[in-house]
Chains A and B, each alone.
Chain A
Amino acid sequence: MAPEVLIDIEKRFEDGRPPLNPLLMKEGKGVVVNLKLPIDSSWTVLFGPSGVGKTTVLRCIAGLDIPQRGVIKFNDTTWLDTDKNYSLPAQNRRLGYLFQEHALFPHLTVQENIIYNLSGFSKTEKTGKLKDMLNLFKIAEIKDRRPVKLSGGEKQRVALARTLIREPRMLLLDEPFSSLDIPTKERLRREIRAMLKDFKIPVILVTHDRIEAITLGDRMAVMSNGAIQQVGSVHEVFSRPVNPDVAKVVGMENVMPGKIVGNKDGLLIVRVKERELTAVDPGGLKEDVVVCIRAEEIILEKGSPLQSSARNRIPAKVTGISHEGVMVRVFLDCGFPLIALITRLSCNELSLSEGAEVLVSIKAPSIHIMS
């Protein structure tokens, strides 16, 4: 059997200390999670809206919270078995946990933070490891500063270095980018996988940010209503949500791979299957990209095409229609599958039905390109 992490837990909130996030109280009773993850160097994104209990799941894995019922096994080692009344203390689970606000010790310098409680190494080994970390995370110049004097991005790197220097068996990231400003967030998001690739450990990332999920995740576990609704590859979860809950949570129906083929006037030409789409260039992209279009941003037109400001106008065929209250979800084939969300009124006026020919119209800024 390939090594894997087994997480099967149930944590209720009605008794004891109220949860840290008061939203949880409103949402419901707790979290129920059943998850199996391989122990390799893949990234699993625990995705869901704020207050759904994602952090609670992470805290249970780390041993900071103890669920009322459950089993957690890391390969052959049992970390938690409530039936046997057993819980391995957080100290002995040997995993890395990156807190939302980084939780650097304010009374210690960067260097002291990183080597805090680092045992089992000789003095020279310790110095060597510290030096490696300072170089890898490019924080050598700030090693004698206190956390107060660090920028958000620097704190993030120090926290990562502090966790990774003790070679954890798994890394848990709790909304690691949420406290950063947007440019730093984007830069770190691009760099973090590269910085972590030599450690070859599984990573669980908690986030409610779609872009983080798409760009960082290999696999996605979508949480909603206190439970995991779907586990699958990021592409699979976004393109084929198993239920309306997941569709609502992921919110972006159209996610597909594409290739950048050109660039003019600050606009990108991206090829998806045999079609070419025009999108606004977010900068810093490689050739292979992921194209995302929100269903509600797609306009359907019929009849003779008039002039329009929308950069993308593609003939398509309706392959299916599903009614959802006042809205209608229209499944289209325009060389690649596409889903549009329009009002029932528009659907009636256009007299759409399966097999109808329409013109899909998408403004360039509505096409989100990610690497």
Chain B
Amino acid sequence: MNWEPIILTAKLASVVSVILVIIGVPIAYWISFSKWRWKFLIEAVVALPLVLPPTVLGFYILVAISPNNLIGRLWVELFGATLPFSFSGLVIASVFYSLPFAVQPFASSFETVDRRLIEAAWTLGSSKVKTFFTIIIPLSVSGIITGIVLSFAHTLGEFGVVLMVGGNIPGVTRTVSIDIYDNVQALKYSEAASTAFFLLIVSFLILSIVYAVNRKVWSVWPQRF
């Protein structure tokens, strides 16, 4: 088995998960507690990658980060490198692609925190930021773990967006799913099979963690009375 794409993919998924916690938590907080009447528009934008074909998403991201456009040009000026077909470009694309998988579990767990507990903390003099870290986060742990794990798993298995934005450069943008596709194209079935099986097992383990963490909430077994 070729370990290079596996290590690359694991690195990509880890970086993306960390970024998604940093940007996903504030977005989810805003979605849960904002009273802005047009909020649903932002919710729709966040959920868009769930329904958009990866090639469409990948196409727009590729155009956006190309050096001919603002974001791409800015990046070149700041870091002296272009984004398309690079690891950084892949990270940006994957963050967008996996955004709903982080934000939605975060937001729904924030929403289930009893408002009265939040208000009680306020009347006890706790600032909104302190209330968030001492009350909301501890009571949303399972949702936060779910969001992290799902976005990690989703990034592991992405194909279309990676192909559009990253291409197929070994050691730079060649992820597991592209490696499998490549092997099949080259009729190297046994190599494809071992990598595919590895990905299957990893995905299964990750989802098992999610369901184990959330057993109380989303019991998959019939209730026993």
Contacts and interface: CB of A to CB of B under 8 A. Distances in A.
A156 to B, nearest CB: 14
Interface stretch (B54-62, B116-124, B160-168): B116-124
A119 B134 CA distance: 15
Interface residues of A, number: 26
Given A16-B35, A117-B130, A94 B119 contact: no
Q: Is the interface of A mostly helix, strand, loop or mixed?
A: loop
A105 interface: yes
Interface residues of B, number: 18
A116 B35 contact: no
A62 B123 contact: yes
B121 A117 contact: yes
B171 interface: no
A106 B136 CA distance: 11
B138 interface: yes
A148 B24 CA distance: 31
A96 B139 CA distance: 23
B122 A166 contact: no
Contacts of B114: 103
A91 B130 CA distance: 11
A56 interface: no
B108 interface: no
14 contacts: A64-B119, A90-B119, A91-B122, A91-B123, A91-B126, A96-B123, A97-B120, A99-B119, A99-B120, A105-B121, A105-B135, A116-B126, A163-B124, A166-B124
A103 B130 contact: no
A107 interface: yes
Contacts of A94: 125
Contacts of B139: 106-107
A116 B123 contact: no
Interface in A121-177: 162-163, 166
B120, B124, B138, most chain A CB atoms within 10 A: B124
A14 to B, nearest CB: 15
Given A117-B124, A166-B124, A103 B35 contact: no
Given A92-B125, A99-B116, A166-B124, 9 more contacts: A63-B122, A64-B122, A91-B123, A91-B126, A93-B123, A97-B123, A103-B117, A105-B121, A163-B124
